[in-house]
Amino acid sequence: MKKIGVIILFQFLCIGLSAQLVDADLLKVKNRLDSILSFSTQLKLEVDISFINMPVKKAQMFYTKGKRVKFSSDDFVMLPKRGLDFSLNSLLEYSFITVDRGVEVRNGKTYKAINIIPTDKRADFSIATVLIDTKLKRVMETEINTKKDGTYLLTLQYNTEAKILPDKVTVNFEIEKIRIPINFMGKDTELDRKKMKAAGTKTGAIYLTMSNYQIKSVL
């Protein structure tokens, strides 16, 4: 019995030690993204929410390292905070640990799965699961369990293997868990209040398409 107890204790210690290390592949992705000093891109936004009928919105997005993302548009649009963070800054802003979760398959391709677990109470999420293309050093999918706004699932698509920033991002979420700024979605947006107030879980999706990237990088 003592021998079994020692083995179990050793296994727990090993798990604990492995979780304390920051995953090397995640750091490679972060270092590659950190090489970007600034970028701008044309942005197209579409929503798929049962009670909202909103035409396609367009804007221009600007990013400068160390600063918040900015955008300009002729029509003020709702932009999802989570969908715009291509840098991983919101997940790695405070101290954290990582856990290797093996691999997962998406569309016939295998990616490394990593849990990011914040150790600082200031972080606004409890856990995130990131799928990484270790060969191309980029994020393919991120599931973020926030403390107040439910769960977000981000799926990133790239037009070429050389791309470091995505050409399309799909953001899926539960409607009840987020605050939708209806008044800021444009005068041409129609809202079906009966569907909005109807019982049952509602889900939504936002589709972001980027084009004409202008990137300034140290690499």
CB-based contacts of 74, cutoff 8 Å, min separation 6: 58
Which pLDDT does position 18 carry in this prediction?
Answer: 42
Residue 117 confidence (pLDDT) above 70: yes
CB-based contacts of 79, cutoff 8 Å, min separation 6: 45, 59, 71
Query: Exposure string (b/e) for 90-126, b if CB count within 10 Å is 16 or more?
Result: bbbeeebbbbbeeeeeeeeeebbbbbbebeeeebebe
Which pLDDT does position 116 carry in this prediction?
Answer: 97
**Gap between the Cα atoms of 139 and 30, Å rounded:** 10
CB of 171 within 8 A of CB of 156?
no
Which pLDDT does position 186 carry in this prediction?
Answer: 66
Which of the listed ranges 28-32, 78-82, 197-201 does the model predict with the highest average pLDDT? 28-32
**Gap between the Cα atoms of 145 and 142, Å rounded:** 10
Domain ranges of the chain: 24-217
Q: Which single residue is written with the structure tokens 């990133």?
A: 156
Residue with the bigger pLDDT between 113 and 87: it is 113
Q: Which CATH number fits domain 24-217: 3.30.70, 2.50.20, 2.60.40, 2.60.120?
A: 2.50.20
Residue with the bigger pLDDT between 18 and 41: it is 41
Strand residues in the chain grouped as ranges (E): 36-48, 52-53, 57-64, 70-72, 96-106, 109-118, 125-133, 138-146, 151-157, 168-174, 190-191, 203-217
Residue 201 confidence (pLDDT) above 90: no
